[in-house]
Structure 1
Amino acid sequence: MVNTAPAPTKTAKRPARPNGQWKVDGTAPLNHNEEFKAESDPLEVRDRIERIYAKEGFDSIPGDDLHGRFRWWGLYTQRKPGIDGGKTATLEPHELEDKYFMLRVRIDGGALSTEQLRVIAGISTEFGRGSADITDRQNIQLHWIEVEAMPEIWRRLEAVGLSTTEACGDVPRVILGSPVAGVAKDELIDPTPVIEEIQQRFIGDPALANLPRKFKTAITGHPSHDVVHEINDVSFVGVEHPERGIGYDVWVGGALSTTPRFAERLGAFVSAQEAPEVWHGVVRIFRDYGYRRLRNKARLKFLLADWGVEKFREVLETEYLGYRMTDGDAPPSPAELGLAERGDHVGVHEQHDGRFYVGAAPTVGRVSGENLARLADVAEAHGSRRVRLTPQQKLLVLDVAENEVEPLITDLDELGLHARPSLFRRNTIACTGIEYCKLAIVETKATSAEAITQLEERLGDLKDLKPLTLHVNGCPNSCARIQTADIGLKGQLVMDDDGNQVPGFQVHLGGGLESVDRDDAGLGRTVRGLKVTADGIGDYVERVVRRYDADHDGSETFAQWAHRADEEALR
């Protein structure tokens, strides 16, 4: 692989123990993950997949390609069926994995044509046993993919402008974008040009294909702040500057997992024309200064925590941009604007052109190849050729004439896609879970679906219940953003009432982001010893929600109540 890193800065003070920062310590690999990336450009593995592995099969794939470089093309081995969660941390990867792959289709900004949707649907039904999940990163994730099928899958995707390039790996991953970009009546700025320029110029660039770890981006111009910008490595949030007009406020260093940290504002305003270069500067800071020695410290949030915002901005401006960015104020939060919209865009909304978009909720993002194909048919039957995916595992149908809205909603309901869902069907998300994921400890999708059904039956009498969120994760890594939910469930093994070890969850309460309709954003609270079994989610959520309904003070949100309530009230 060509080394694109600058030489170590001569004046930089070397730490007592190297952290693997290229501009400080040099580029010598300090662990095996860094070694295989240094040996060759990970993106080059596609050639081997097409020439060798697709012809010779799974057993011909060497370990560094299988468990490493395949990720650069959106491929992970999936979990072998029948291995319980107690063995997740004790077995080696080859013991956990099946000879099938999870494949992520990269969909920057969540934007799909009905033609593209049909192609994904066809790949799902022909090569993935009908599997398809909408993720909270606006990807579509397929399963049961065999390496032999990958050349044909890439051919079909790329024929309609889709790819799996850098859908996983230590790279700039899919760019979250406002699902209503270019159509919303109240949009401040359309982020589509910025997303497209970043995607076209930088995704697949070998110079950015060896980062310390993954790098996540979010861009929105909608006042509901609908891309969870607070937990991305870099985010651009639409704002109006008093002198320069409308552009973006820059945030850096957010991420969750086992060490959650919210992003911080750089205090800088950038125009739409400047945003791609600023993005390029931030990702190169991560490449050159990010910590590489320890994988669990190799995210931008750790560098920002050590440097602080002032130094980060100074390095960005002096070493990467060559100019000082304009100072800017924070964009108003949705709460400050009095928005009732929670940023998931579910329901019926008028577009700026007089047509409508309709947002619908599949149950915890689980769809199927067959239903994706039917969705394309339904959208076109009602005059639409555009669909969007959201960071809340929802989907939108755009460009619907007013007289087609209700017929569309009826047809979506028949597909299990609800434009007027119950509170919990709307606001529950779940990660992949033990069904396919090698890191998971517990099952999530079916468990969450069952809990939703129970809660719809049990809490129907609470007519004035405020919106609240339920996020379910199969392990501690927080792919389902458990620390930022009203009720977040982190998968682990727990003891039931009979003293048996069973699948269950640690409970986080009262988390939230600025991008929901409250101004008390923060990480969820944990209560010592508070755990629930997987089959007891419905019981617990009903109990704590009824306690909130009885005890909360006036307009007090669930999050506000959960942070002030006695521990006993939360059990």
Structure 2
Amino acid sequence: MPPATSARPRRGEGQWALGYREPLNKNEENKKNDDGLNVRQRIIDIYSKAGFDSIDPADLRGRFRWFGLYTQRAPGIDGGKTAVLEPEELDDRYFMLRVRIDGGQLTVAQLRAVAEISTAYGRDTADITDRQNVQLHWVRIEDVPAIWEKLESVGLSTMEACGDTPRVILGCPLAGIAEDEVIDATEEIRRVHDDHIGSDLFSNLPRKFKSSISGCSSYCTNHEINDVAFVGVVGPDGTPGYDLHVGGGLSTNPMFAKRLGVFVAPERVSEVWAGVTSVFRDYGYRRLRHRARIKFLIKDWGPERFREVLEKEYLGYALPDGPAPELDPGLERDHVGVHRQRDGRNYVGFAPRVGRVSGTKLARIADIAEAHGSDRIRTTADQKLVVLDVEPERTESIVEALEAEDLRVRPSVFRRQTMACTGIEFCKLAIVETKDRGATLIDELERRLPGFPEPVTININGCPNSCARIQVADIGLKGQLVTGPDGRQVEGYQVHLGGAMGLNSSFGRKVRGLKTTAEELPDYVERVLRRFLDQRGDDEPFAVWAARADDADLK
């Protein structure tokens, strides 16, 4: 007989396909008790009528997310208490509301509706996110049904804008009009949305699930860091289609997506998307919340096994091998500026300050677009906006109108390249302020380094979760409390340097002890940028310099 062993059997990871169906944590139990999609009717019938105090806590801090609602942070709570207080102590009685904008595609009427909701129900707040959504704040539960009615009247929704669901599908804002696009993904985005968003087949995933489908030759949807990404390529027979990437994501364990090595024809995108999402649903890890993203499954399985399971268990056919996208390390991804469309008209991309706008500002953008003959406005994955279809003779007029609203078509490097997450102003996870800090930093750098020549990205995040993509920025700033000159704890940032996507993708370098207080931030950034200019080789980008620079030169 074999010797007895005291080794305990390996614990299951909560994978449904392997029989682990029991609730394994509070979130899984909550989802098992009731599908998040069912909360909509309770909001309409009960909570909006009886008010905030009537809301079941399991809905308030769980299922509300299935319709884009998070309680925002109560005012006056400093960052040191973020991880200490209970959720009910952090909750305000108001909500952040995320409007889902798949592919970043808006009409004038849709943008105007969002603007009107902001001014009527959200204290004139609005942020353009780096997921192409619009976020509003100060929303009361009593007003949510009226907001939904307004959004749905113009074809918009908040359904599955948050939660353990397939969130907004990123798409190139220039889909169908760019002269150099590989393929127009508009129809594929529409089909995936219509076939699968709101389906109870995918309304209980292990964690959030981020998708992109794009044929942009600048790769503006950042396929490297999405859970599933369809990237435009030309197939073996010369027909355009998509290369499939799975398992990208940042947060506290950043990972780049892996190519499965397959070619997906346009007409198969919806079923392949459903197959990948089903693998995640059934094999994704549900036992531990912090390991529940698809990137951990890909890391453990590898792309070869994932492809095999996808093809044999979910598709029932083998996908053909396909080529990788041809990345260019020097391309800007944000579509800012005036550029020619394939039909001879122009698109005009412009930069607010770190994505912060307002309902009043959005209404003005709608007016400007309409006055210049456009009915198509787009959001980007870099907190920017684009107006399409501007006749050449009207281009300078629209540029002047936008610039007069502080919406820069010809921005400085710092206005163009700085992003910030929501921060402590509204977010319950945040430790420090971000939006105002980013706007102030832009002003300071424009004053101190006028005409700075290089496209250095500066991304500011209020906590470790990387909503503002700090690990793939040239200068990534992760909010935390740091020790100030007088020994007290003050707002500050850990610094990541030299992150990048594209041909030379890498996560930013962390130098031991490299932190800055919020007050000293402009001085630090100026110092490191001046050293870069002094030490760089010919045409050497910041990320390459930062990777080779001495630690002392990065401090």
Q: What pairs with 1:299-378 in structure 2 (closer than 5 Å)? A: 299-335=293-329, 341-378=331-368
1:197 aligns with 2:185: no
Q: What pairs with 1:66-215 in structure 2 (closer than 5 Å)? A: 66-215=60-209
Residue identity in the other structure for 1:31: N
Which residue of 375, 391, 405 maps to 1:385?
A: 375
Q: Deviations over 1:281-320 (max 9, x none)?
A: 0000000000001100000000000000110000000000
1:217 aligns with 2:211: yes
Q: Is the 8 A contact 2:181 2:216 kept in 1?
A: yes
Q: What pairs with 1:3-82 in structure 2 (closer than 5 Å)? A: 16-82=10-76
Q: Is the 8 A contact 1:225 1:334 kept in 2?
A: no
Residue identity in the other structure for 1:314: E
Q: Which residue of structure 2 aligns with residue 459 of structure 1?
A: 449
1:420 aligns with 2:430: no
Q: Which residue of structure 1 aligns with residue 484 of structure 2?
A: 496
Which residue of 475, 488, 510 maps to 1:487?
A: 475
1:476 aligns with 2:476: no
Q: Which residue of structure 1 aligns with residue 529 of structure 2?
A: 545
Q: Deviations over 1:77-131 (max 9, x none)?
A: 0000110000000001110110000000000000000000010000000000000
Instruction: Say which SS state the counterpart of residue 535 (structure 1) adopts.
Output: coil
Q: Which residue of structure 2 aligns with residue 558 of structure 1?
A: 542
TM-score (norm 1): 0.95
Q: Which residue of structure 2 aligns with residue 402 of structure 1?
A: 392
Q: Deviations over 1:8-52 (max 9, x none)?
A: xxxxxx971011000113311111111110111110000000000
Residue identity in the other structure for 1:436: F
Q: Which residue of structure 2 aligns with residue 292 of structure 1?
A: 286
Distance (Å, rounded) in 1 between the aligned partners of 2:436 and 2:371? 31
Per the TM alignment, residue 438 of structure 1 is displaced from its structure 2 partner at its CA by: 0.1
TM-score (norm 2): 0.98
Instruction: Say which SS state the counterpart of residue 167 (structure 2) adopts.
Output: strand
Instruction: Say which SS state the counterpart of residue 273 (structure 1) adopts.
Output: helix
Instruction: Say which SS state the counterpart of residue 157 (structure 2) adopts.
Output: coil
Per the TM alignment, residue 505 of structure 1 is displaced from its structure 2 partner at its CA by: 0.2
Instruction: Say which SS state the counterpart of residue 163 (structure 2) adopts.
Output: coil
Instruction: Say which SS state the counterpart of residue 208 (structure 1) adopts.
Output: coil
1:430 aligns with 2:420: yes
Identity of aligned residues (%): 61
Residue identity in the other structure for 1:177: G
Instruction: Say which SS state the counterpart of residue 296 (structure 1) adopts.
Output: helix
Q: Deviations over 1:426-474 (max 9, x none)?
A: 0000000000000000000000100000000001154xx2211000000
Q: Is the 8 A contact 2:12 2:20 kept in 1?
A: no
Distance (Å, rounded) in 2 between the aligned partners of 1:262 and 1:238? 18
Q: Is the 8 A contact 1:79 1:98 kept in 2?
A: yes
Q: Is the 8 A contact 2:472 2:501 kept in 1?
A: yes
Per the TM alignment, residue 526 of structure 1 is displaced from its structure 2 partner at its CA by: 0.4
Structure 1 moving runs of 4+ over 2 Å: none
Q: Which residue of structure 2 aligns with residue 11 of structure 1?
A: none
Residue identity in the other structure for 1:101: F
Show structure 1 runs of 5+ residues with no match. 1-13
Distance (Å, rounded) in 1 between the aligned partners of 2:237 and 2:134? 41
Q: Deviations over 1:475-514 (max 9, x none)?
A: 0000000000000000000011121110000000000100
Q: Is the 8 A contact 2:236 2:323 kept in 1?
A: no
Q: Is the 8 A contact 1:131 1:142 kept in 2?
A: yes
Residue identity in the other structure for 2:229: S
Structure 1 residues 315 and 461: alpha-carbon distance in aligned structure 2, compared to 1, 3 A threshold = closer
Distance (Å, rounded) in 2 between the aligned partners of 1:553 and 1:151? 58
Distance (Å, rounded) in 2 between the aligned partners of 1:473 and 1:32? 27
Instruction: Say which SS state the counterpart of residue 519 (structure 2) adopts.
Output: helix
Q: Deviations over 1:124-157 (max 9, x none)?
A: 0000000000000000000000000011001010
Per the TM alignment, residue 334 of structure 1 is displaced from its structure 2 partner at its CA by: 2.2
Distance (Å, rounded) in 1 between the aligned partners of 2:54 and 2:216? 48
Q: What pairs with 1:521-532 in structure 2 (closer than 5 Å)? A: 521-532=505-516
Instruction: Say which SS state the counterpart of residue 149 (structure 1) adopts.
Output: helix
Residue identity in the other structure for 1:289: Y
Show structure 2 runs of 5+ residues with no match. 1-7
Residue identity in the other structure for 1:511: G
Distance (Å, rounded) in 1 between the aligned partners of 2:20 and 2:426? 38
Distance (Å, rounded) in 1 between the aligned partners of 2:226 and 2:533? 33
Residue identity in the other structure for 1:144: W
Q: Is the 8 A contact 2:151 2:157 kept in 1?
A: yes
Residue identity in the other structure for 1:60: S
Per the TM alignment, residue 242 of structure 1 is displaced from its structure 2 partner at its CA by: 2.5
Q: Which residue of structure 2 aligns with residue 568 of structure 1?
A: 552
Per the TM alignment, residue 368 of structure 1 is displaced from its structure 2 partner at its CA by: 0.3
Distance (Å, rounded) in 2 between the aligned partners of 1:53 and 1:226? 40
User: What's the C-alpha RMSD, in Å, of the aligned pairs?
Assistant: 1.0
Instruction: Say which SS state the counterpart of residue 363 (structure 1) adopts.
Output: coil
Which residue of 493, 513, 516 maps to 1:505?
A: 493
Q: Is the 8 A contact 2:129 2:135 kept in 1?
A: yes
Instruction: Say which SS state the counterpart of residue 555 (structure 1) adopts.
Output: coil
